[in-house]
């Protein structure tokens, strides 16, 4: 189970077996709640199957998606040792299975310094990603959010041409908008010659300056 997760690459077979012996697997159905803000998050979780969604549920009942967690990805690295309740809801998007690793197993694994370094690096990367999501949500329009998203992808990929890692529905959830609004803004960027889309999943930025102008105007 741990062989498919990069975080655990530095553990030996015996160390992985020890961690697994202290862990448990839990299955969830689509839309089932995994964590709420009333729950104490005291373990590291790995998605063995399916897909999860992290969201804020507003008093009105509306959900603001913060992030998605895919198969073989992890969550709860920091909260496992914080002694605090979850900040958001976590839902199963589809039939999902999670491996829950308790603190005592992680403390055992931390004896391996390379694993400890990888664990701290993962927390740092998640913190940076959360900072970007907060920045994205603070933007006032869908077009600004889309411009920021495309510029960030271009920087991450080191190219003006790249595949979109998210569907328009997923982007709508991340932007706190609708799929129709996201599609409309993609169309406007294409018509204005700012981007070119050879197919529905690929983007070529024709004018980074125009995207920056949208973002900062």
Based on the fold, state whether residues 112 and 6 are members of the same structural domain.
yes
Identify the pLDDT of residue 134: 76
Taking residues 31-54, report their average pLDDT. Answer: 93
64 with 38, same domain: the answer is yes
Q: Does 128 map to a domain?
A: no
CA separation for the pair 192, 203 (Å, rounded): 14
pTM beyond 0.85, yes or no: no
pLDDT of residue 94 exceeding 90, the answer is yes
By mean pLDDT, which of 33-42, 110-119, 123-132, 158-167 is the weakest?
123-132
How many structural domains is the chain composed of?
Answer: 2
Per-residue confidence band for 138, with pLDDT thresholds at 50, 70 and 90: confident
**pLDDT value at 130 more than 80:** no
Per-residue pLDDT at 98: 97
Q: Is the pLDDT of residue 113 over 80?
A: yes
Task: Look up the CATH number of the domain holding residue 8.
Answer: 2.60.120.10
Domain that holds residue 155: 139-216
- Res. 154 pLDDT band, cuts 50 70 90: very high
Is 134 domain-assigned? Answer: no
CB within 8 Å of 126: residues ≥ 6 apart? 77, 78
Beta-strand pair 202-205/161-163:
antiparallel
Question: What token pair was written down for 79?
Answer: 């909260």
Residue 147 lies in a domain: yes
Is the same domain home to 116 and 186? Answer: no
């Amino acid at each position: 189970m741990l062989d498919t997760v990069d975080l655990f690459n530095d553990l030996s077979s015996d160390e992985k077996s020890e961690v697994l012996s202290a862990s448990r697997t839990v299955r969830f159905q689509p839309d089932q709640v995994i964590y709420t803000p009333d729950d104490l998050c005291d373990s590291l979780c790995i998605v063995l199957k399916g897909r999860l969604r992290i969201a804020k549920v507003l008093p009105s009942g509306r959900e603001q998606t913060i992030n998605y967690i895919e198969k073989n990805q992890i969550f709860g690295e920091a909260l496992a040792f914080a002694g605090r309740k979850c900040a958001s809801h976590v839902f199963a998007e589809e039939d999902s299975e999670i491996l829950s690793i308790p603190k005592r197993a992680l403390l055992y694994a931390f004896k391996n310094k390379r694993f400890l370094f990888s664990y701290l690096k993962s927390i740092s990367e998640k913190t940076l990603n959360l900072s970007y999501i907060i920045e994205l949500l603070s933007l006032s329009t869908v077009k600004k959010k889309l411009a920021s998203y495309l510029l960030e992808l271009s920087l991450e990929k080191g190219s003006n041409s790249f595949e979109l890692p998210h569907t328009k529905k997923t982007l709508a959830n991340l932007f706190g908008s609708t799929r129709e609004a996201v599609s409309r803004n993609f169309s406007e960027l294409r018509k204005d010659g700012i981007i070119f889309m050879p197919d529905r999943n690929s983007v070529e930025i024709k004018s980074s300056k125009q995207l920056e102008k949208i973002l900062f105007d």
